[in-house]
Homo-oligomer: A and B are copies of this chain.
Amino acid sequence: MTTPARVPAPTLALSANDYVHGYSSHETRRLTDQADTLAALLHSDSAYPVGSKVLEVGCGVGAQTIHLVTTSPEAHFTAVDISSSSLAEARARVVAHAPGAHVTFLQANLFELPFPEAEFDHVFVCFVLEHLAAPRQALTALRRLLRPGGTLTVIEGDHGSTLFHPDSAYAHAVIDCQIQLQSTAGGNALIGRELHPLLTSAGYQDVTVRPRTVYADRSRPALVNGFTRNTFIAMIESVREDALAAGLITPPDWDRGTADLHRTATDDGTFHYTFFKAVAVNPPSATSAA
């Protein structure tokens, strides 16, 4: 990327003010819970070679970073985020979990990353595209930082995959509030299903997308607690005030909906959600032309 200014720079939803998931310490706990519970499901097959240079874009509080460095202790990571407070938490988390890890932290905008073209062997992006108004342009910009033949890994959810027992129209209504708020902020909570066309249209090759499905019932209490309750329902509950302020739902309907969601995490309840993990290659003959 010789002239970053040439890359379209739409409003980045992933900012401290607009970020739909917020930056509270409760939110930090939720993201950490999620990463721990999902680590094996999402990351167990991501290992980077000794000495390879890996860029993690949108590392946030380091919830995924600690799994990356654990799985690939001899790779050299650069973890970027737009929030300095998140970066401070990420740094502390990595120091606590993997004191010998090779991680450089950097505060920067995804669209204005201060690296030369083809600087990295691999790029890793997890739960970031869902917040961007222009995910394809972001992917194109990131491709220029990858060496020819380098890989991009993307992990995103898709709230349309949510299904549960007992079913409840009220519960779906509160989930729809989150989807609408994220859309209003310029993001897309249904982006998982689009990863293949997105990466393909951004110029990547050999795009492979696979579902990573979380399913929790009473036989898996740690998953019920770690995912259904502390990850998914907590995420939905975190947008209550915004949903009410936007007039998307009434307080009684909100309360009924979240109560019905909690019902799926008790007794005979079940809960299902699918993440999508994509791996793609920057074409060996890549040029700077998008």
Contacts and interface: CB of A to CB of B under 8 A. Distances in A.
A11 interface: no
Contacts of A164: 193
B167 A190 contact: yes
How many copies make up the complex? Answer: 2
A219 B207 contact: yes
Interface in A267-282: 268, 270, 272, 274, 276
A201 B165 CA distance: 14
Contacts of A215: 209-211, 276
A287 interface: no
A44 interface: no
A160 B160 contact: no
A163 B272 CA distance: 13
Interface size range on A against B: 20 to 34
Q: Which 8 A-B pairs have the closest CB atoms?
A: A197-B268, A196-B217, A160-B163, A165-B193, A211-B213, A211-B215, A213-B213, A193-B270
24 contacts: A158-B163, A160-B167, A161-B272, A161-B274, A163-B190, A163-B274, A165-B193, A165-B194, A165-B197, A167-B193, A193-B270, A194-B270, A196-B217, A196-B218, A196-B268, A196-B270, A197-B217, A197-B268, A200-B268, A201-B268, A207-B219, A209-B217, A215-B276, A272-B274
Interface of A: 158, 160-161, 163-165, 167, 190, 193-194, 196-197, 200-201, 207-211, 213, 215, 217-219, 268, 270, 272, 274, 276
